[in-house]
Structure 1
Amino acid sequence: MTVSTSLSESTTARLREGMARGVLSFPLTSFDETGVLDPRGYREYVAAQLDTSPGAVFPACGTGEFFSLEEAEYGEVVRATVEAAAARVPVVAGAGYGWAQAARFARIAEAAGADALLLMPHYLTEAPQEGLFEQVRQVAARTALPVIVYQRSQVRFTAATLERLAEIPNVIGLKDGHGDLDRLQSLKLSAPEDFLFFNGFATAEIVARPYASIGIPAYSSAVHAFAPEIADAFFAALRDGRTARTEELLRGFYLPLVELRDRVPGYAVSLVKAAARLRGRPVGPVRAPLTDPGPDDLADLDALLTTGLDLVGAIR
């Protein structure tokens, strides 16, 4: 596969600009009540998300239930996102599993017009650093798209491995989901100056200030998937150094959201989708192995959503 250095450079520049301007959007994938992909609902939903001017959009990733999509569904979701974005912001499609499967998804994303890939952790097994490196290299070698690697769960790179990854022409950045700031600082200092980093911690706003303190202010926002008004208000307060406002939002909305999220495994996605439904968004239920929230949790979520929107002066 021939990799264009200019494509990687231009995509990196667009992503860097977007990361400075707004949160990174990870849209939900719309299903109907029977669990079938709802293309019309998704197009309506993702168009509304894009109208809030995120820094970039990442379809078919963890929040978008990549792990439960068929290849044809995946292609339809990425294509719809590309069409809705209309080159206003970069579209970074998720890809994952073993390298052979990830490469198939990469080819689909490329054909659908994506600007880059987010390479999510491989499937199931632990692996040594050489294996982690080779997994990324094999995928990157099979696509012309720029690749951002995602470290979380069983994927945790050393500084030496990241240095090698950064030498691959189309590997342009790292999303971090571990929150180990000592290790992350080492990674950042070992990488080239133009290498992208962003905070991909679950409910990233909770740790946005510590990440920013080591030079990583950009982050993905699951809250943006259902309440962009809250997500954008927090981003602006953090960017502008308004500590009292930042802490008001953390105390009144984000910390209670994390407490609710931690009640049931999988709520990091299920609650987000439920909140979007509470706001009338056409996203439908989650697919197995996730489960939708029960009545008590849904009532608590509804009350918290009202509180968050009131804090930013948004209309329900």
Structure 2
Amino acid sequence: MSTQLKGTGVALVTPFNPDGSVDYSGLKNLIEHLIAGGVEYLVPMGTTGETATLSKEEKQKIFDFVLETNNKRVPLVAGIGGNNTVAIAEQVKNFNSEGFSAILSVSPYYNKPIQEGIYQHYKIVAENAPLPIILYNVPGRTGSNMTAETTLRLAELPNIIGIKEASGNFEQFMEIIKYKPKDFLFISGDDGLALPMISLGADGVISVVGNAFPKDFSAMIRKCLEGKFDEARLLHYKLTDIINMLFAEGSPAGVKTFLKELGICGQTVRLPLVNVSSTLETKIVNAVKNY
């Protein structure tokens, strides 16, 4: 399990038609683009997929579509998380896990639980899940940080196999990597920090920029994992301006604009998200032309 989820996972965007409905043709284009680009696995229904604005029925249809389109070519990790522990435990318990390798579950947001609350939330979710759980710490979105101590406590539970870390705190990264169980996955949740995180011992990344530029980004991650940092740095710096543009006005609005310019899918997002400004869109158009 841990081996197949090393390298580059991509947090899939959910393409929408101009009327706001799910664009399954665009989603198929995206999946083919990513697999052809050499990414190691796909992560539908994470934050990048705008799950907060999708209905239960839409999420299930997207899971089914990704599963069918992928057709066992690469591993799949399902995004299932939230801030109602009982509801999330029920969702994972009833999830049809066939064809999926793991569940990525975000730390509870908005409620701002203390560390013991985060621990108990994940303990209950893991006990009910038919698949291994990957923790997801992203304080910028959740409003609370899961500390290294809590992560290491959770790493001892039998059905928790890794963490996607997006706190930006290198002291925290290093403490987890230093003391984690050997087979516990440490995954970068920040595209721009993936190279230094792997140099410290991370196992890969779950990426946003990988939606648009899977070939170069996944090649960069593979070079890092092989210890070829001189070669990896060339690709890292080729992508840094793009990564900055991609997040300048929020995700996934930025990456969807890149995908539109690449001819993969449209740039429609659902409110309360809005499209990027015309100024940023012009920069993105030029970046794609000059890439």
On whether the aligned pair clears a TM of 0.5, the verdict is yes
CA gap of 1:294–1:78, structure 2 versus 1, over 3 A, is same
Q: Which residue of 2 aligns with 1:6?
A: none
Q: For 1:241-280, what aligned pairs fall within 5 Å after superposition?
A: 245-254=231-240, 256-261=241-246, 263-264=248-249, 266=250, 268-280=251-263
Using the size of structure 2 for normalisation, the TM-score is: 0.88
Tell me the alpha carbon deviations over residues 80-113 of structure 1, each in whole angstroms, 9 at most, x when there is no partner.
2222222232210111222233234424643564
User: Paired residue for 1:230, among 178, 195, 216?
Assistant: 216
Residue-by-residue CA offset, 1:93-146 (whole Å, 9 max, x unaligned) = 111222233234424643564221100131312221100101111211222111
SS at match of 1:63: helix
Gap runs ≥5 in structure 1:
1-10, 309-316
Q: In the aligned structure 1, how far is the partner of 2:185 from the partner of 2:225?
A: 18
Alignment of 1:42-57 (within 5 A): 42-57=27-42
Q: Which residue of 2 aligns with 1:304?
A: 287
Match of 2:12 in 1: 27
**Where in structure 2 are the equivalents of 1:44-193 lying within 5 Å?**
44-98=29-83, 99-107=85-93, 109-111=95-97, 113-153=99-139, 154-193=143-182
Q: Which moved more, 1:132-141 or 1:155-164?
A: 155-164
What is the deviation of 1:273?
0.7
Q: Is the CA contact 1:75–1:112 (under 8 Å) kept in the aligned structure 2?
A: no
Compute the displacement of 1:200 (Å). Answer: 0.6
Unmatched segments (≥5 aa) in structure 2: none
Once structures 1 and 2 are overlaid, which stretch shifts more, 52-61 or 35-44?
Answer: 35-44
- Supply the distance in 2 between the matched residues of 1:44 and 1:109 (Cα, whole angstroms): 26
Structure 1 residues 113, 100: closer, same or farther in 2, change over 3 A?
farther
Distance 1:243 1:169 in 2: 34
Aligned equivalent of 1:12: 2
Q: 2: distance between equivalents of 1:14 and 1:217?
A: 11
Asked if the contact 1:253/1:307 (under 8 Å) is kept, the reply is no
Residues 244, 196 of structure 1: alpha-carbon distance in 2 compared, 3 angstrom cutoff: closer
Count of aligned pairs: 287
RMSD of Structure 2 on Structure 1 (CA) = 2.3
Q: Distance in 1 between matches of 2:2 and 2:252?
A: 28
How far residue 213 of structure 1 moved from its aligned partner, in angstroms, is 2.4
In structure 1, how many angstroms separate the alpha carbons of the residues matched to 2:205 and 2:177? 15
Post-superposition offset of 1:41: 2.9
Distance in 1 separating the partners of 2:230 and 2:149: 39
Aligned residue in 1 for 2:189: 200
